[in-house]
Amino acid sequence: MKEIFLTTLRQSATPPTAFRQAAGELSRLLAAEASRLIPTQTIQIQTPLSKATGARLSHRVILTTILRSGLAMLPSFQELFPAAPIGFFGMRRDEKTAIPRLYYQNLPKITRDDWVFLLDPMLATGGSSFLALEILADAGASPSQCVLVSIVAAQPGVDVIRKKFPALKLVMGAIDPSLNDRKFIVPGLGDFGDRYFDTVG
Ligand code: URA
């Protein structure tokens, strides 16, 4: 199903309503995939009929997202992790250099035991996620318990992130081969934020 939703997202003729719906559905699939990385522990429970064995997550999950396009993935992750604290990074990338500038940050308290998800729909050069992951590590997150979740990533961005954070877990809808001279992912899907929020430039 990932491929079906990605096809909708990639097509330039897709209107914003269908784009939003596909982004939500694909994020739901990615959330399920990412959830399987978190260790569980066996617990004894009581059903109405007998004792049984159940499972619960062994760690707290923290959701973090990069404004503004990361907001599109958040509701699907909140559905699966309704109790998760949520952190935000406000970043804007320079149109010419594609270098991200952090203009806002608000994180919950993070411990090394937590599993931290970073939601960044379009991993292009990797610059924004790189900066966010550095901040998360400084704030106490364990890189081996961080999961970067993207709808579409570019191979060059993935390479940059993997080199700096080899223990990081990656969950991606697709990995595309390249970036154009404006650092957009090719074939990609264009500007995710503009297509999702129905804005121009
Ligand atoms: N951000 C986007 O929205 N699209 C890209 O292709 C790259 C970064």
**Domain of 94, in residue numbers:** 2-197
184 pocket-lining for ligand 1 (C-beta < 6 Å):
yes
Task: Say yes or no: CB of residue 191 within 6 Å of ligand 1.
Answer: yes
What is the count of structural domains for the chain? 1
End-to-end CA distance of the chain: 30
Whether the ω angle into residue 112 lies within 30 degrees of 0, i.e. cis, is: no
- For ligand 1, mutation pick of 151, 178, 189 (most atoms within 8 Å of CB): 189
Domain CATH for 26: 3.40.50.2020
Q: Say whether pLDDT at 201 is over 90.
A: no
pLDDT at position 99 over 80: yes
Return d(Cα 190, Cα 185) in angstroms, integer: 7
Give the per-residue pLDDT at 98.
77
Does ligand 1 have an atom closer than 6 angstroms to the CB of 152? Answer: no
pTM for the structure as a whole: 0.96
pLDDT at residue 96 in the model: 79
Tokens of 25: 């559905």
In the predicted structure, residue 95 carries a pLDDT above the cut 80? no
